[in-house]
Amino acid sequence: MSVTVIYGSDGGCTRKIAKRINGKVGGTLLDIKKAQRADFENASLLILGCPTYGGGDLQTDWEARVDVLREANLAGRKVALFGTGDQVNYPDSFIDAIGILYDIVVERGARVVGFTDTEGYDFTGSAALRDDRFVGLALDEDNQANRTEKRLAAWLELISRQD
C-alpha cells in the first residue's frame, strides 16, 4: 500500500507529528507547499494534517494551496485526517481545520477513515465533529502532549484496520 502524508505547519508542531506518522507508516512525506494534484490522487492511503489557526482557520499554506486539493479526484480514495489545536485557548474552534479538510475530501469522493472519540478533551465547539466524533485524530500539544503517543498509536492501528 502506498501512503502519502501531506501537512502544513508554520511553528513546526504539525510537521513534527507528520514526521512521526510517516516514520511509522513508511510513506512519502510532503509539505502542502510542494504537493501537486497527483500526490493526492496516487496514494492508496492519503493522510492529511493541519493545525487550526485563530478562530478556526486553515493553516496559511493550506489556505494558499487548498485549490490543489479541491481539484483532485479522490473517488474511492482512503483518507485519514489529523489536526493540532489548543483546546484551552481556543475551546470554540478546537481542530476546526480538519473539519474543513473533511468537507473538501468527501466532496471530492474520498472515504474518510480514523474517526476518534471526544473523551479526554475539554472544548466547547469544533467544526471537526460528525455524529459526536472527531473526523480524525485530534492532538493538543500545548496542553496534552503527554497523551499524544498513545492517541497516535491507537489511531494508526484504527486506520490500518479500516478498508
What pLDDT shows up at residue 45?
A: 96
What are the sequence ranges of the domains in the chain?
3-161
pLDDT score of 1 more than 80: no
pLDDT tens-digit map of 116-159: 999 999 999 999 999 999 999 999 999 999 999 999 999 999 99
pLDDT digits (tens, 9 = 90+) for 4-52: 999 999 889 999 999 999 999 999 999 999 999 999 999 999 999 999 9
Q: How many CB atoms lie within 10 A of CB 131?
A: 6
Fold category of 3-161 in CATH: Rossmann fold (3.40.50)
The cell for 3 is: 501512503
Whether residue 5 contacts residue 12, with contact meaning beta carbons closer than 8 Å, is answered with: no
For residue 163, the model assigns a pLDDT of 74
Cβ contact 8:61 at 8 Å: yes
The string of pLDDT tens digits covering residues 59-118 is 999 999 999 999 999 999 999 999 999 999 999 999 999 999 999 999 999 999 999 999
